[in-house]
């Protein structure tokens, strides 16, 4: 670290503290959104508990699906959208990124713990779907289940966020909605202490939807929908 870098960091700390409210809260308290681009370049099939203290073991991080037409792996698509989402949110939210590169080794529990430590208000998880049936299309919005002791405390708020985000993303993209659904089996949800929505942005196993999801204009629509959804959620609070 250069001296310059050190000084700018020091100055930042100074300014932040100087503008802090007397109760210790930052004057500028934007909601914290933790963005997770699903998967990574190399799957890690070693096992980890699928919830804190659980004996059920699941792969640390799966490889994800691949575009049937674009041949693009899911981890690349999810990061493309994640980086756009970061840009779109950064003025109105404090954004934390689980990853910015493909060459990481982060298990699903580690991703959840990262967002817990960031004290995120919402974790937005980006994925794309795959199916044996090439005709299947549409977006699914998952939230942590109410019927699971691990995810129960974060379920209600997650569902509220998921519903409002789903509404806006579908409105912006015109995609078919496959619904807003609870999940109690995902390691990435079970380790969370903060609310979350996981967006399956479409099916990479459908030629048309695969191509569409890689189009920058379509990605912008997904991102605009997520932003509008979060804005609407925080406006209603
Ligand atoms: Zn995925």
Looking at the DSSP bridge assignments, the partners of residue 203 are: 129
The CA 162 to ligand 1 mean position distance, Å, reads 17
Span 119-140, average pLDDT: 98
Span 43-51, average pLDDT: 96
The CA 40 to ligand 1 mean position distance, Å, reads 10
The CA 103 to ligand 1 mean position distance, Å, reads 16
The CA 55 to ligand 1 mean position distance, Å, reads 23
14-32 pLDDT, tens per residue? 444 444 444 444 556 899 9
The CA 12 to ligand 1 mean position distance, Å, reads 37
The CA 74 to ligand 1 mean position distance, Å, reads 7
- Asked whether the predicted pLDDT for residue 12 surpasses 80, the reply is no
The CA 5 to ligand 1 mean position distance, Å, reads 37
For residue 26, what are its two tokens? Answer: 């930052």
| DSSP conformational letter for 8 | H
137-196 pLDDT, tens per residue? 999 999 999 999 999 999 999 999 999 999 999 999 999 999 999 999 999 999 999 999
DSSP labels for 218-231?
Answer: HHHHHHHHHHHHHH
The CA 228 to ligand 1 mean position distance, Å, reads 23
CATH class, domain 23-235, is: alpha beta
Sequence ranges of the domains in the chain = 23-235
SS3 205: coil
* Helix, strand, coil tally for the chain in percent (to 5): 40, 20, 40
């Amino acid at each position: 670290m250069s001296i310059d870098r050190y000084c700018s960091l020091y100055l930042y700390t100074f300014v932040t503290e100087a503008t802090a409210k007397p109760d210790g809260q930052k004057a500028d308290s934007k909601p914290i959104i933790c963005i997770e681009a699903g998967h990574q370049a190399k799957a890690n099939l070693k096992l980890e508990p699928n919830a804190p203290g659980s004996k059920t073991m699941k792969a640390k991080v799966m490889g994800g699906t691949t575009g049937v037409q674009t041949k693009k792996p899911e981890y690349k698509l999810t990061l493309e959208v994640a980086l756009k989402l970061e840009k779109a949110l950064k003025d109105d939210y404090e954004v934390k990124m689980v990853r910015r590169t493909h060459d990481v080794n982060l298990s699903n529990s580690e991703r959840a713990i990262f967002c817990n430590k960031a004290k995120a208000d919402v974790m937005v998880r980006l994925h794309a779907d795959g199916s044996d049936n090439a005709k299947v299309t549409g977006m699914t919005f998952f939230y942590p289940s109410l019927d699971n002791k691990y995810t129960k405390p974060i379920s209600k708020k997650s569902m509220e966020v998921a519903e409002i985000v789903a509404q806006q993303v579908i409105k912006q993209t015109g995609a078919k909605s496959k619904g807003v659904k609870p999940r109690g089996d995902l390691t990435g949800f079970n380790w969370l202490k903060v609310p979350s929505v996981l967006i399956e942005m479409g099916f990479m196993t459908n030629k048309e939807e695969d191509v569409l999801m890689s189009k920058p204009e379509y990605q912008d629509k997904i991102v605009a929908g997520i932003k509008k959804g979060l804005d609407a959620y925080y406006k209603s609070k």
